[in-house]
Structure 1
């Protein structure tokens, strides 16, 4: 014989689970990085983004409130009314507790609203913890840069034109649809990368790491000779990739004029034929 379904147990378990999830998600949000950084690096914890944790916290907070009301009104309403009647009849003996409870609530409320220590210290600790996630090299150029379109990003990068930005993306096999409407975040999601990685490829300058390797100082013709390639064919290959070059130019000079590193040029020249 099956036991009758117990709504009391169902609601009690639901309240317990909701409370645990609200506490855990609240702690995660308390220490999580600020939104501008979280979106820029696509921050995740246990597979959920910051927005995901915010959604979890909000939904289960609502669930906790709803289950609490059900617990009160559908299960314990009679007991609650009886308790209120008993307390009302004996209220003269509990006035002190009522006053002190009210005072404590008011103190907490005022202290929080006006950022009075030690309440402000709790929020300051959260700010310090969230700020600790950010690294200088990972900081977005402007707050919420992930929401910039390529056209808007062009105004933030005076050294690059929109055509150069789009050519760089194509060169790195970054798929995008519309430079005027698609944001860095949307492009990053489309290519399974972070907005920071997309931005890094756009703003990559002639690589300083190539200095001293000799590649940047060599002429295009010399590189072609070393790789046993025809210089004219290589120039056509570069033109197909929106790189203007002359065989007498060094790779560094070509890179400076086209916003690309000597290594990228070398790798393009040295790639195996299709």
Structure 2
């Protein structure tokens, strides 16, 4: 009875098959990254495909690219003689594919230059990708500020002006396992499967989360209505406090109470941009500060 000889592992065949499968994976992930939403939109809307979010597809594409490079190096080493055969004529030792080599180099250079300069049709391809990215959700799907889904609910409530306690209650009623204001929408998405955008909309749409009116310092009122002076954004916090008789420390304390860190030398525009608020809103929050004597000014 004859025994079939044991077949050794064919490294060259393995490398070729691995390159082929890796090329298919790179093609799929590359096409997906071409059409899926921008990162900020994908994270906010909770986009995923086949259970993998955009970050996962990006990681898959990057790692597969590195693996492809390594496999290609081995492929060249194992097929070096064949490659030289194509490039040189054994009899004359002269290059036999000069034209083909020059054409390949020229086409590669054209792809590089076209991708950088984006002249047609390269620019058209990128514009088409932009339209396809927007087609998923439209242009209105935007987080209130950059990486809002990563902010603790406490910070998000402060920056967007909603009541944190009521927001936590709204989320619990929706079946979201939220325990404190230190959790972010991104963390709650992982726990509940509800996208950061849907969680945020649930908070914003519930009237219970509307904040109580902020008391405004009578010094900032004009005929019982708060009127912001012109050029408010260019005024520093120190200037506003000095002109309206408010202790700077009390103003800073009022801002810190809202989760806003500021310095007296900063303008209201700078403070507002960092907090995601308008200079007028910062101006109103300052009105909740205590007077120099320590008694809070009431409406």
Contact 2:170-2:206 within 8 A present in 1 as well: no
Question: In the alignment, does 2:131 pair up with 1:112?
Answer: no
In the other structure, the counterpart of 2:69 is 65
2:42 maps to 1:38: yes
Matched, 1:9 2:18: no
Structure 1 length normalisation: TM-score? 0.65
Cα shift at 1:116:
1.6
Q: CA deviation at 1:137?
A: 6.5
- How far, CA to CA, are the matches of 1:96 and 1:68 in structure 2? 24
Partner of 1:27: 31
Give the whole-Å Cα distance in 1 for the aligned partners of 2:17 and 2:103.
Answer: 32
Q: Deviations over 1:7-44 (max 9, x none)?
A: 12211111111111111111111111111221122211
Query: CA offset at residue 205 of structure 1?
Result: 3.0
What is the CA–CA distance in structure 1 between the aligned matches of 2:71 and 2:99, rounded to whole Å?
Answer: 31
Which one of 150, 154, 167 corresponds to residue 151 of structure 1?
154
- Give the Å deviation of 1:54: 1.2
Distance 2:207 2:165 in 1: 18
More helix by share: 1
Unpaired runs of 5+ residues, structure 2, are: 209-299
TM-score normalised by the chain length of structure 2: 0.60
The equivalent of 2:291 in structure 1 is none
The CA RMSD over aligned residues, in Å, is 2.6
**SS at structure 2 position matched to 1:203:** helix
Write out per-residue CA displacement over residues 74-116 of structure 1, whole angstroms, 9 at most, x where no aligned residue. x22333345555489323x655554444333333222211222
The within-5 A match list for 1:77-88 is 77-81=80-84, 83-84=86-87, 86=89
What does residue range 68-217 of structure 1 map to in structure 2 within 5 Å? 68-73=72-77, 75-81=78-84, 83-84=86-87, 86=89, 89-91=93-95, 95-135=98-138, 138-158=141-161, 160-180=162-182, 182-206=183-207
Residue deviations 1:240-274 (CA, integer Å, cap 9, x gap): xxxxxxxxxxxxxxxxxxxxxxxxxxxxxxxxxxx
Residues of 2 paired with 1:154 and 1:7: CA distance? Answer: 58
Q: Using the alignment, how far apart are the partners of 2:139 and 2:67 within structure 1?
A: 39
Q: Distance in 1 between matches of 2:103 and 2:7?
A: 46
| SS class of match (1:89) | coil
Whole-angstrom distance in 2 between the partners of 1:197 and 1:39:
12
Tell me: CA distance 1:109–1:192, structure 2 relative to 1, closer, same or farther (3 Å).
closer
- Tell me: CA distance 1:7–1:204, structure 2 relative to 1, closer, same or farther (3 Å): same
